[in-house]
Amino acid sequence: MIKPAERLDLIEEYYFSKRAKEIAKVRESGKKILNFSIGNPDLPPASSVIDALYKSARNPNNHGYQPYAGTPELKEAFAEWYGKTFGVELNPATEILPLIGSKEGLYHISMAYLNPGDTALVPNPGYAVYAVATKLAGGTPIYYDLDESDNWLPALEKIDEEAARNAKIMWINYPNMPTGAVATKSDLQKIVDFARKYDLLLCNDNPYSLVLPQQEPLSVLSLDGAKEIAVEFNSLSKSHNMAGWRIGMVAGRNELIAPILKFMSNINTGIFKPIQDGAIYALRNVDEKWHEERNSIYAKRKEMIFEIIEMLGLTANKKTNGMFVWAKVPEKIKDVDEFVDKLLYEFGIVLTPGRIFGSNGNRFVRFSLGVKEEEIAEAVEIIRRNRDKFA
């Protein structure tokens, strides 16, 4: 038998990949599925963005291989967007690297910086990819706590000093996923100062700033001293409803992002030109009114999901960013996985158990706002009819 690489023993199949198979079996049994589990924007981009993609795709000269580092026009558009949205000045030629979605960048930077045996500080709870990318690069994730009592901000004083001194990368994600927590400028400055103290490469994953914002959009690169040690990932997936287009970026000083390009150029051959052109149009032309209209739809959905939360006896904070609701499960429900499975197998309602984001998520579930109002209404009615089963 030809055995797979041992590195695969360090990870599992992605949770949502496995769960999709279970959901498919329930659907095959004839039950309608109401899926609140995945943060998949179900709304389209602005129609003018689609027109820009189509126009570029009709150009016969736009179907060849593209520059590894993206077109100059795309980098300029990202720089303009960062200046307008976050007040951060970036050199488009040297401080921006377009990506085929920001998720790939999380892997690329881990491969570019981590040697076997190196460690990375990873939030608990947090996006599973931070830890997985660390492991696949031969490193070891060292988890640091985010706590509900402190608005899911890093408990920096509790991070072991030796662990901080030996780590190479620190992952943060604000506005936060899965909790929706928002970090203020003061909160982020403390993290930047911590990273500078221990000479850490600080990586902020920042795709949710424009989704139901609780404050002005904030980039870690705007903080004092941040450019010395920090990079920031962003994408158009959530901000512009372009998840399937797979286009994102990483920003930071050239010395920090050049190693990512060195690795990436051996893996990828550039982003399809029409997608770059569509992104350029979106970055330059999608206005505040469009974002407000999209967010008004999400706000209505969020309000409806809180009906479900109340009927199930869960608790959640309404003042959060992003396209998720992070809800705490009451102590009377002893087994959260059993609770989630009951919703799926008996009622066709799919939630994400918080445990997949780390042990500090064990008593939580996550709802996505990427569900149409009529489907949320169906879920509300199903739970209302069966409320006694959750008492």
Taking only the tens place, the pLDDT of each residue in 12-32 is: 888 888 888 999 998 998 989
In a shared domain, residues 204 and 345? no
In a shared domain, residues 140 and 236? yes
Task: Please give the tally of structural domains in the chain.
Answer: 2
Question: Among the three residues 250, 267, 285, which one is the final residue of a domain in this structure?
Answer: 285
Q: Span 172-185, mean pLDDT? A: 97
The answer to the question of residue 52 being in a domain is: no
The answer to the question of residue 338 being in a domain is: yes
**Residue 311 contacts residue 384 (beta carbons within 8 Å):** yes
Q: Which residues contact 74 (CB under 8 A, 6 or more apart)?
A: 98, 271, 276, 279, 280
Question: Among the three residues 266, 285, 304, which one is the final residue of a domain in this structure?
Answer: 285
The answer to the question of residue 56 being in a domain is: no
In a shared domain, residues 82 and 194? yes
The answer to the question of residue 53 being in a domain is: no
- Strand (E) or helix (H) holding 136: helix 128-136
Cis peptide preceding 175, ω within 30 of 0: yes
pLDDT surpasses 80 at 261: yes
In a shared domain, residues 322 and 231? no
Could you list the residue range(s) of the whole structural domain that residue 24 is in? 6-45+289-386
SS3 172: strand
pTM value > 0.85: yes
b/e code 157-195 from CB counts within 10 Å (16+ = b):
eebeeeebeebbbbbbbbbbbbbbbbbeeebbbbbbebb
Taking only the tens place, the pLDDT of each residue in 49-102 is: 999 999 999 999 999 999 999 999 999 999 999 999 999 999 999 999 999 999
pLDDT surpasses 70 at 391: no
Question: Among the three residues 262, 285, 308, which one is the final residue of a domain in this structure?
Answer: 285
Crossing angle, helix 373-385 and helix 336-347, to 10 degrees?
100
In a shared domain, residues 97 and 179? yes
- CA 260, chain centre distance (Å): 19
SS3 249: strand
Taking only the tens place, the pLDDT of each residue in 314-356 is: 999 999 999 999 999 999 999 999 999 999 999 999 999 999 9
CATH number at residue 213: 3.40.640.10
Average pLDDT value for the chain: 96
In a shared domain, residues 250 and 326? no
